[in-house]
Structure formats: C-alpha cells, structure tokens
Amino acid sequence: MNPDRLVLLDIDGTILLTAGAGRRAITAALGEHVGEVSSFQHMRFDGKTDPQIVGEMLAMAGHEPPHDGERVAALCRRYVALLERELASGASSTTLMPGIERLLLRLAGEQRVALGLLTGNLVDGAELKLRAAGLDSRQFVVGAYGSDSHDRCELPAIAAARARPLFGHVPSGEEVIIIGDTPADITCGLGIGARAIAVATGAYSVEDLSLHRPWAVLPDLSDTEAVMAAILG
C-alpha cells in the first residue's frame, strides 16, 4: 500500500532544542568573516533557513548583496564545522520536545504515513542536531533543507517531488502535512496546498500561530492521538 500522507517535520523548536548551540555556531562563523557580532544579538532565527540567516547577517554587517553564491556557501560550511564542535563540547545539551519520541514511534508504525523533514537547517546541520538528540536521521525517508533553497517556501515542493517514488505521484494538498513551530512553517506550504499543524513549543503561542490559520494547532506534540488525528483527518 502506498502512503497517503507525507508528514514533514521541522527540527528546531519542533523536534528538539540545541540550547543555543546553533546560534552560537552561526554567530561565530559570521564573526570570523565580519568581525563585530554584537548586532546579531537580537536577530531572530526561527522559521528562517540557514542560508537566509547568513545572508541577513551579512546585510546587517554592511556587506553589499548579493548574499548568495560561494560566500554564503563557505560560511554555511564553516557554520556546520563549528556546530559539530559546539554539539560535541558538552557546553549545551540537546533536548527533545515533549512527546516526540512517542510520536515518531507511532508514525513509524503507520502505513499511511511517509515521514520526512522540512527544515531551514543545512542537511549536514540537521544530521548533527538529530544525532545530538539521539535520533536516527534515517527514519526520515525524504527531506528538504536549507541547503536546497534559502527560501523556505520552495522547500515543500522539493520534499514532495522527492516523495514521488513512495506515492506513485507527487503528493500535494491534504496529502502533505507540515508540522512546525513558526508562522513560516504554516505559510510555506500554501503553494502546494499542504496542511500545516502548528505547535507552540517555540517562540509563538497557540494564539499567535492561530492567526495564520493552520489546519490544526497544538500546545505541544505530547498528545500523540491528537497529532495523528490531525495528520490522518
């Protein structure tokens, strides 16, 4: 039986928190390049892709656009190297969000579901963060990452195209469920008609997220059957 739901999970604030390791690593990578980092202190990272964050930091540091191409790619590579060091240093502990382990087990046992990732992390950064949280990245059979596009809105179609062999067609509409903690997770899938399940385990409250009209909104992912009902409904 082919699956009829492609479930795409965001990582930061949805699956796990790295206790600032990601922020410290990307700030350090930029600091090596531009020097002064104090202007990045209050910058928001959530909902953004890593190349987007790097581009915005370059702009804040007064570097002229374009903020793409080889310079951003080199800074992203340096960020991943520093992230690996941060996560290995023990300076921060990566923690799973409530209910994630149970939900992943339940999803793995649901034949209707193909499980994937939709994250602004670079693919290598995603792997490092999942490993730091004790999760096997191979359980996510498809993914779209910040390394695929700096624009989160392009990621749902990329993930859907990669899921084609599993579905026998490119899934779209209600077949695609995006689970994330920011308004960007909710709105990025509008182009392919995806349903969004918003979860208030990041910086946004249930009320904040509701304003963006997700398919469902939950305080966290600890009520496994409520999440499954929203996915399969």
> Is-contact 199 181, C-beta < 8 A?
yes
- φ and ψ of 176, to 5 deg: -110, 125
Residues 171 to 210: which contact Mg ion by CB under 5 A? 181
- Residue closer to Mg ion (CB basis): 63 or 215: 215
Number of residues that bind Mg ion (CB under 5 A): 4
Q: Does 10 bind Mg ion (CB under 5 A)?
A: yes
Considering only 6, 7, 9, 12, the residue that binds Mg ion (CB under 5 A) is 12
Q: Does 214 bind Mg ion (CB under 5 A)?
A: no
Q: How far is the CB of 15 from Mg ion (least distance, A)?
A: 9
> Is-contact 80 122, C-beta < 8 A?
yes
Strand partners, 8: 116, 178
Strand partners, 198: 180, 217
Q: How far is the CB of 18 from Mg ion (least distance, A)?
A: 11
Q: How far is the CB of 69 from Mg ion (least distance, A)?
A: 26
Structure tokens belonging to residue 200: 């208030």
- Residue closer to Mg ion (CB basis): 15 or 57: 15
Q: Does 148 bind Mg ion (CB under 5 A)?
A: no
CA 31 to chain centre: 24
Q: Does 50 bind Mg ion (CB under 5 A)?
A: no
> Is-contact 2 167, C-beta < 8 A?
yes
Residues that bind Mg ion (CB under 5 A): 10, 12-13, 181
